[in-house]
Each structure stands twice: as structure tokens, then as C-alpha cells.
Structure 1
Amino acid sequence: MRPVGRGSAALAGIAAVAAGLGSAELVAGLVPQAPSLILAVGDFVVDNVPGPVEQWAIATLGTADKPVLIGGILVLSALFGALLGMLARRSAVLASGGIALFALLGVVAALADDRNPVFRTVLVGLVGAGVGIGVLYLLMVGLPRRAPADEPASTVDDEPGTAPALSPVDRRRFLAVTGGATVLGVLAGIGGYLLSGRERIAGLRAAVRLPAPVRQAGPVPAGADLEIPGLTPLFIPNEEFYRIDTALRVPVVDPADWQLEIRGMVDNPYTLTYAELMELPQIEADITIACVSNEVGGELVGNARWQGVPLRPLLERAGLQEGATQLIGRSVDGFTAGFPTLTALDVEEAMVAVAMNGEPLPAEHGFPARLIVPGLYGYVSATKWLSAIELTDWDVDGYWIPRGWAKEGPIKTQSRIDVPGPRATVAAGRTPIAGVAWAPTRGIERVEVRIDDGPWQEAELAAPYDVDVWRQWMLPWEATPGRHVIAARATDGAGEVQTDQRTPVAPDGASGYPIIEVVVE
């Protein structure tokens, strides 16, 4: 009698792994502080992958880096399950050991983060391994089987440790149970994800009542938004704002439990609750922030109206000690970012932000509190899900510095062409060339455009607004038929002209002119 075919065995292994992973995710969602083993492995990869690989992933995948990583883990898990299923044709015991080892790897990855409770982490691993092994045995050994009608049962001579053969009726039953186990595993995983708190965050945010800021952002002057079709708006809606961080799952932080520690090289360390933070005087400011991984002409930059507590009074209350030259922001998930203390003291709009575009911070952007510092790339300043502000000397490094990024991260003077889009086809005649330019804390004084090998032409700028906010620009163009190359460059308020020297994003941000090619018909 034939043993279970390789294809069927592979499906059984995939179903076993799916059921095991799904049940583990469900337990992680049900048990407070229990970690997701899938995300634990992802976090371990993110924390230990070589810097150049991480830089490539961010530059290539952008905001899709996290879904691709999780998808890759799931695909590899399925492939491993298929191999275990085929191994089970020879020995269900060895295959079960493989599932146990698979769960153990997840537990070890989770325990690499000392914030994960040992017992709850092990519990998640045991449940996942137990369910996976149980499903594998059910499919490969335990299902009722019978020999084909033309073969007497007495002739069946299966070797010990191998799975019996399947009759056509058994195969249908086998596929039904395999499919059911896989679907249940997927549903359990989805349930665990939902139970992990994403839906809960919406309720927590809805309960927040924002105080009126003591200093409001000024009204947007007429002409600050050129309102050209296709041109990036002055303010980016929260749901469209770029997101780059190291968190594979958005942390769930209840404001009732949240605390902000001000500690380190200070005379008077103290702790604020969320309620106490919200009682402090707040300011409102329109600020453009950017990711250091933004390529020239890229979209990892955005402008929003932020509200929060200025950093300066928080630091003055703590009393800075001599040598406290760096402010380290620490996230609830362990991420750290550091920048000069003088920046926090000198830049009035540097803040612990609690609101974005008139509403409590979205979960993906740091709820309940984060740091916003004009003029600095996010990798050194924009700590989300803030839990502590620590004053240190300059020798302490934030998360990204040992991974090959520069210690200091001032945002470079940059411009971008939004209209027409790259490789666009436009009609001959008068058409706008338009985009945005930014140099937070310095402002934009001039934008110039060059068409093909022609001279630089000064573009029309939107009405001046705030030096921390990007500025729209537009050049009317009499487009002639043919293929054309368009470049742009900006000059900031300090007189610095955007360089034409092309550099990669690492270690301190990309540089060069944005250049597009269009066809005019």
C-alpha cells in the first residue's frame, strides 16, 4: 500500500504549522503582555540584520518593509511546514520534534527582548507547539483509514512510524481536515491580531480630550497653498502620512497606565502621568518632518500641525547637569534616538507631541506621546510611543548609530517635483511644473527649475508661511513636443543651495537634484 504522497504530506505540514502559529497568536492576543512569536522573530531580524541590508530594505521597500518582512516569515514558515510534513512520511516523531524546535526558536527570539515575561512567552510557545504537533498527528496518523476496496486489509503492511496509505474516500476526508485546520489557524491568527489591541487603541484615543494650546499655530496665509492639481497639499492627512519605524506591531499604550520619566544627568528626575502632561501648557506648531531614508524626490516627508508640551520647560524643571549634552528619547518598545540637548533648549517648537492635525496622535504615529523636533531627521529625534527622556553625554548612541548612520541628522535642503509626474505624457502648450521644497528651521527662499540644458529659471513660490514648513512652488512652462528632462533645486533661508552631488541615503540623508523625464505630445 502506498504511503501518503509527498504533496499530501506537504499540505499536512503546512496545516500543522498554520494551526500552531495561529493558536500561538490567539494566546498572545488573549493573555496580557504575552508576545507574538511571529513578530518576535521579525523584531529579532530587524535588530540583528547587518546595517547595509537594513538600509537597502528601507530604501527599496519604503513603507512596505514591515509587511514584506512578516510575509517573508510566513512564507518561510509554510515551506518549513511542508518539509516537516514530508519528513512525517518517514517519522512522525522527528517531524513533531521539528515543530517543537520551530516553536522554541520563536520563544528564544521573544526572550531576547527582556521586556517579554518568561512564563507567558513559554506558554505561547507550548500552545503553538502542542497544537501544531496535534494537527500533524491527526492528519498523518490519526485519521480513520481504509485500504482500497480491491486490496484486502490483511495485505496492508505499513512500516512502523510511517503513515498508512489513503483511499480515494480517505483523501477527500484528509483534504477537508487539512483545509479546515489551515483556515482555523489563519482565523485564530487574525483573531489574535485583533485582540492584541488595535481596536482597543481606537477607543483609548476617542476618550482623550485635547486641551486648548496656550499658543496656537498662526492662520494659514492666503496663497500658501497653490492648489494645483497633483501638487502635494500643504498638510498631509494623518491616514496618508508616511510611517517609518522599527515596530512590527504598533504598541498598545493605555494613557491611564502611561508615564514619562525624565531622568539621567539631571538634578531632579521626575515622572509625569498622561493626565499631568495634559495639564501642562501646550503649544501648536506646523512642522515638516522627514525620514533620513527618503530618496531624492521621495515621499518619506510630510507636514502636519502638531500640539504638545515644549521640551525646554520639562528640561528646566529637571535641572540639567554639566555634561548632559544629549537628549535620548526612549520608546515603550525599546527604541532610542538621541540629539543635542541644545537643540531641545533652543528650538521653541521642539515638543512632546500629543496631537497631530487636531486629533490625538494616531496609533501608528506614536499615541499617546512622541517627540517632534524641527530640523532633524526622525532617526535621531522622532521617538514614538515615548516612555522616557534621558539626559546623557554624547558618547551614548541611539538605535541607528551603531547600524551605520550618522550621529547627527540635520535635515538637508531638498526639493521635489510633483507635477508633472515622472515619465508623464503632457500636452504641448502652457503647463505647470510644480512641487515642494523644505529646509525646516531655515525656510525656503528660492526654487529654480532647469529644462533640458537650458538656464535655471526661478519658480513662483507660495506665500511665505513658516520656516519649519515646506513651501510649494510653480513654474509656468511652454511645453514643446518631444522628450524633456526637468531638474529643480532649492535655496534655503541661510543661503545654502541644494547640491547637485548625488549621495545615497546612508549615512546622513540623500542629496542631489530631483530630476524627471517627461514626454510632450
Structure 2
Amino acid sequence: MKPAKAALTGLIALATALAAGHLVAAFVGLSASPYLAVGNAAIDLTPSWLKDFAVTTFGTADKLVLLICMGVVLVGIGIGAGLASRNSPAPGTLVAVLLGFVGVAAVVTRPDVGQLAVLAPVASTAAGVYAFRYLHREAEESESRRGFLITAGLAVFAGVAGQLFGSRTDVEGSRQAVGDLTPKVKAPEIPVGADFVKDGTPSFITSGDDFYRIDTALSVPRIRAEEWALRVHGMVERPMVLTFEEIRSRDLVEETVTLTCVSNEVGGPYISTANFVGVRIGDVLREAGVKAGADQLFSTSDDGFTAGSPLDYVLENGLIAIGMNGEPLPAEHGFPARLVVPGLYGYVSATKWVTDLNVTTFAKDQGYWIPRGWATRAPIKVSSRIDRPTRMGKVQGKAVIAGTAWAQPKGVAKVEVRIDGGPWREAQLGADVSDTTWRMWRVELELSKGSHTAECRATDKSGFTQDQARLDPVPDGATGWHSVTFTVE
């Protein structure tokens, strides 16, 4: 067999295998698709240092980069299997079977799929083996391209059909059917002067499209509110299961909350603020009756992600949120429901697509990130950043330096700025909305022409000023003063 046709044989067989698995997964759970299951397994098995590198380097595109890298590797495997099988289909068949075992292993270890999910990688393996042997025979017996074209067409059809069927859950229709969410207790109006957008800060309220998203979900869970339920159990007197309608029918509360990712580097973008609507976690837990000795609320997402929150803290703070910025939660931000807890980094408090609340102890259960080297308890550290001027930016005339500071749940009392290592100057603060939200600041300075470096630091309302020492996010959040070098013209 010619090398080109051998390589094409391997590639088309590989595509057929993946497409068949994706099609079957559409009926047994999209997470069972071998490509996605192996990707999720790769995320789970990736060491923390590599995950941190991916988030820092690629930001919210880290999962797309992973999928592309997996695709490149699989293309190489497919071509290699084809070339190794020029004289016999045995090598390619063996590769297909081995890849099938990898897919099966990835699927059976997923916590978010049922027993039938194994059918997807099994179908993938069978389709890959059959397609490879069929195309190998076609290539040896005929110079016709008909077999290759038919198989490639079937692979494309199966892949597209799998995506269409897998996306058939009408999440958007379910969101629209929720209608208005009217809180009994509304959040205070955001006062004029809460941000300095004209000077370069973000708007005080972050839109759903701009709200940062860092999670472990390779594909966004698609859950209809009508089919969702939240189980509350563990060390409680009265375990309960709450439907969406049962939560919605309770007294809803609206709170303005700033959420922060522990992966945020000094000056990083992974912080956003929204008006969330839901029920207080503490009210639900007290209704269930927390038993003595419990110290952790262990939350589980529909996709299997877990997080552990200090029980004493969440009894007094946080929501089981079903709304965001005046509408039901967007799918990518947790619809139908998520946890929102101000003052704790998201990896221990902000579980999206939440389906299970287990009242337990830190000694018994560990959240997803804890065995990977992150701290068990993760209070947010007082921090600040310069939003404008940007790094290596240029300023005309007077230098207006503006930025953002946060210290949930203590609140920001002061922000200071210094230029070129000189004396600190106190910045003008934006209106104080609440201690659970960020606070914007600005300062206007007369500076000589040329290059300058600005630094900022914040002080919370307890009197603590953020640390100067630069520390990486692991294990409990980054520290350090943010600095920007710019030019005055």
C-alpha cells in the first residue's frame, strides 16, 4: 500500500471511531464521548503546576488548547498506525483496540455518567477496528477512492449527528420558561460613582458574557430546571431533596457579590461582580438540622467536581443562586443552580451546576483541588491592581491611574499608589457598595515626560495592608503589589 493511502486509512478509521463514540454518547450522556472523556481524565490527572501554567498562559482558552493538542496527538497516532500497517492490518487494529481501552477506562471512572455510558467507547472501538480493516482491504484490492469517500462521509455524518443529538437538551428553553425571578429582599442600587469606567476600570457589574469562567468542565453540563434537584444530606437531622420550583418558591434574596479565582496572578483578570438571586445556604442547612461535629459543606457538581466550604462560614454567608443580573443563570455559569459564597476563593465555594450538598467533616472528605496541593480553607486576600495605564502604555498630559481593589468580606478601606518607588499617595475611592464587593479607585498625578512605574496596594477595613512579597497562587492565593511601567508623552 502506498504511504499516502496508508496514512489516510489510519486517519479516516480514527475519525470514524471518534464519530461513532460521539454519536452513541449523545444517547447515554455526552460526557461518555471518548474524546471528551479522555480530555476530562487528562484534566483530572494533570499535575497542579501544569494546570496553573495552562491557566496563566492560555486563560479561559485552556480547555480549547487541550482539545487541540489531543487532536494533534491523535492525528499523529492515526497516521502512524496507517503507515505501520502497509503490509498487514494487524498493527492498526492493535492501536484501535488500545485506544478503545483508554476510552473505556476514561468513561468508567467518570462520576457524572451512568452504567450505559461504556457503550460509547465500546462502539468507538468496534467502529474503528471495522473501518480500519475495511479501508485496508479496499486499499489493497482496488485503486478506487469510493470506499474511502463513503467511510469519511459516514464519519462526518456520525460526528455531526452526535453533536446535534447531544445538544438536544433545550437548556435555553428551560431558562426562558423560568421567567422573572423577583427577590423578596433586593440588593441595594449601585450608586453613581461606584466605578471609573472612563478612566479604565471595569464597570461595577460584570455582564454574563464578560464574567470570568474557570472550572474543570470540558463541556458545559446541559441541565433543564424541570429535571434538576438538589440533595441535602450527611450529618443532618432531616435529609431533603429540593426541586428547582421548591427553591424558587422560597423567599428569594438578591446580593451583589464579587467572585475571585484563586488562580488569579497579581494583577490578573479572574475576578467579576454580579447581582445573584437565590436562597441563603444557611436557611436550608438549618432547616435540615445540622448535627454536632460537622465542620464542612461538601458540594458536588453535575459533572463530578467537588468543593469543601467551612460550615460555620457558609451557615452565615452565601446563596444557592438561581439567578444572575436579573435573569436565570446562564448555562456556562451554572444553570439551574450554583453556590455563591463571598469571601472565599471559588475553588472552595462557587460550585456550578450544583446537585449535592453533603454536611460532613474536613477529616472525612476532600474537595477536588485539595489533594492537588491547594489549601483546605481559602479566605480571599486583600489585593489591588492597576487597570490603566496598561503595561508599556502611553499617557498624554496628566497621568490618571485607575484600578480595582478587593478584600471580601472585610471590604476595602484605602488604596495607595506610588510612582518610581517614591512616597505613597492615597487614591480616590469609588462609592462603597458593600464589603462583599470590589472597589474601584483612581488618582490623578502630574508627572514628567518619560518612563514611569506605578505600584498600588490596598488596605482592608480591619487595617491590614496587602503583602508586598510576590507569591504564586498555590496554595491559597497570590500576593504582591501590582506594578505597571508606562510612558508620559
Tell me the secondary structure at the aligned position of residue 315 of structure 2. Answer: helix
Q: Is the 8 A contact 2:322 2:338 kept in 1?
A: yes
Which ranges of structure 1 fall in alignment gaps of 5 or more residues?
A: 144-162
CA offsets 1:396-418 (integer angstroms, 9 cap, x no match) = 22111111000110011111111
| C-alpha contact (below 8 Å) 2:200/2:403 kept by paired residues | no
CA distance in 2, matches of 1:61, 1:229: 27
Deviations 1:188-237 (A, max 9, x none): 43442343237622122111124311100111112112231532111111
| SS, match of residue 207 in structure 1 | helix
Matches within 5 A, 1:472-511: 472-511=440-479
SS at match of 2:314: helix
Q: Secondary structure at the match of 2:478?
A: coil
- From the superposition, tell whether residues 11 and 230 of structure 1 become closer, same or farther in structure 2 (CA, over 3 Å): farther
2:423 aligned with 1:458 = no
The equivalent residue for 1:81 is 78
Deviations along 1:49-81, one digit per CA (max 9) or x if unpaired, are: 223323333333321221111122211111110
**What is the total number of aligned residue pairs between the two structures?**
488
Residue 88 of structure 2 corresponds to residue 91 of structure 1: yes
Q: 1:10-43 CA deviation, whole Å, 9 max, x = no partner? A: 2221121112212211221244577111111112
Asked whether the equivalents of residues 6 and 83 of structure 2 are also in contact (C-alpha less than 8 Å), the reply is: yes
Moved >6 Å (runs of 4+): none
Aligned mates of 1:513, 1:497 — CA distance in 2: 10
CA contact (8 A) 1:450 1:487 kept: yes
> What letter corresponds to residue 463 of structure 1 in structure 2?
A
CA distance in 1, matches of 2:398, 2:378: 40
Matching of residue 26 in structure 1 with residue 13 in structure 2: no
| Matched AA of 1:4 | K
Distance in 2 of aligned mates of 1:28 and 1:356: 31
In 2: Cα distance, 1:338 partner to 1:355 partner: 22
State the percentage of identical aligned residues. 40
8 Å contact from structure 2 (residues 403, 441) kept in 1: yes
Residue 328 in structure 1 maps to residue 298 in structure 2 = yes
Match of 1:201 in 2: 171
CA contact (8 A) 1:422 1:516 kept: yes
- Amino acid in the other structure paired with 1:75: V
Say if 1:292 and 1:509, in contact at 8 Å, map to a contact too. yes
CA RMSD of aligned residues (A): 2.0
Give the letter for the 2:87 counterpart: R
In the TM superposition, what are the counterparts of 1:91-240 in structure 2 within 5 Å? 91-121=88-118, 123-143=119-139, 163=140, 170=143, 174=145, 178=148, 181-182=151-152, 185-186=155-156, 188-197=158-167, 200-240=170-210
Encode CA deviations 1:220-268: one digit per residue, 9 max, x unaligned: 1121122315321111110111111111111121222211111111111
* Contact 2:408/2:436 (<8 A) preserved: yes
TM-score using structure 2 length: 0.95
1:406 aligns with 2:368: no
Aligned residue among 459, 468, 474 for 2:436? 468
**SS state at 1:124 partner:** helix
Q: Is residue 63 of structure 2 the alignment partner of residue 66 of structure 1?
A: yes
SS of 2:44's equivalent? helix
Correspondence for 2:275: 305
**Residue 60 of structure 1 aligns to a residue in which SS?**
helix
Structure 2 distance, partners of 1:65, 1:24, is 24
Cα 1:194–1:423 shift into 2, 3 Å: farther
TM-score, length-scaled by structure 1: 0.89
The 8 Å contact of residues 383 and 406 in structure 2, kept in 1 or not, is answered as yes
Q: Deviation string for 1:425-455 (max 9, x for gaps)? A: 232x113111111111111111111111221
1:4 maps to: 2
Over residues 377-409 of structure 1, what are the superposed CA-to-partner deviations in whole Å (9 max), with x where a residue is unaligned?
A: 001111111111111123122111111000110
Q: Rg: which structure is higher?
A: 1
Find 1:15's aligned residue among 12, 17, 23. 12
**Displacement after TM superposition at 1:178 (Å):** 4.7
- Which aligned pairs between 1:325-364 and structure 2 lie closer than 5 A? 325-347=295-317, 350-364=318-332
Rounded Cα–Cα distance in structure 2 between residues aligned with 1:257 and 1:284: 24
Distance 1:93 1:481 in 2: 72
Which SS does the other structure have where 2:126 is aligned?
helix
- Give the Cα separation in 2 of the matches to 1:437 and 1:115: 38
Q: Quick one: which amino acid aligns to residue 265 of structure 2?
A: E
Match of 1:417 among 382, 386, 394: 386
Q: CA deviation at 1:115?
A: 4.4
Note closer, same or farther for the CA distance 1:38–1:130 as it changes in structure 2 (3 Å cut): same
Query: What does residue 50 of structure 2 align with?
Result: 53
8 Å contact from structure 1 (residues 27, 34) kept in 2: no
Which of the residues 205, 210, 215 maps onto 1:245? 215
Which one of the candidate residues 262, 287, 291 is aligned to 1:292?
A: 262
2:451 partner amino acid: R
**Separation (CA, whole Å) in 1 of partners of 2:425 and 2:299:** 43
What is the one-letter code of the residue matched to 2:264? N
> In structure 1, how many angstroms separate the alpha carbons of the residues matched to 2:160 and 2:215?
23
1:391 to 1:259, Cα distance in 2 relative to 1, 3 A: same
Deviates more, 1:497-506 or 1:450-459: 450-459
Q: Which amino acid aligns with 2:307?
A: A
Gaps of 5+ in 2: none
User: Any conservation in 1 of the 2:193–2:430 contact (CA below 8 Å)?
Assistant: yes
Find the counterpart in structure 2 of residue 444 from structure 1. 412
CA distance in 2, matches of 1:439, 1:377: 11
